[in-house]
Amino acid sequence: MMFFCCSFMGAVAQADCLNTENLLKLDAQYETALQVGSVQFLDKLLAPEFYWVHNLASLQETKAQLLMRIKKPEAQAHQRRSHDVSAHRLGNTVVLQGLSSVDKLNPDGKTLRTSRYQFMRTYVEQQGECKLLAVQTMKVWSSEGN
């Protein structure tokens, strides 16, 4: 899977990276990279100025902070998937807006809990490559009752 993530980045760099179809594929790879803890892929994708504001600003992360967090096994999700995604483009910037469902193991290590988030992810084109500049997520539903 790591090979696929990295090889896809090269393909996107050669094509119009902000083309909606290409960007949706790249964004799906972003979700997978978060799920499996692919520091190498995310290090290439995330802009140096990357910033993520989580649910109700409960956590705010820079690129370095996110890369450190995803190395921890408890930070990795069992499954991540985006759906109902729309793209909004202006110049060399595209904002993807949609829903992301994340399944994680409960502390008992046996049962899954699902959370759904509304997200906005801002991609910019720099020298033919797409870079993820910013993410904002808001939890809208959870099977854990939160």
- Give percent helix, percent strand, percent coil of the chain, each to the nearest 5: 35, 45, 20
Cα–Cα distance measured from residue 18 to residue 43, given in angstroms and rounded to the nearest whole number? 19
Provide the β-strand partners of residue 79. Answer: 103
pLDDT at 121 over 50: yes
Which pLDDT score is estimated for 75?
Answer: 66
Residues in contact with 70: Cβ distance below 8 Å, sequence separation at least 6, in sequence order = 34, 37, 38, 39, 42, 76
Percent of the chain exceeding pLDDT 70 equals 86
Token pair, residue 110, equals 């046996």
Domains for the chain: give ranges and CATH numbers: 2-142 (3.10.450.50)
pLDDT in tens, 4-13: 444 444 444 4
Q: How confident is the model at residue 72 (pLDDT cuts 50, 70, 90)?
A: confident
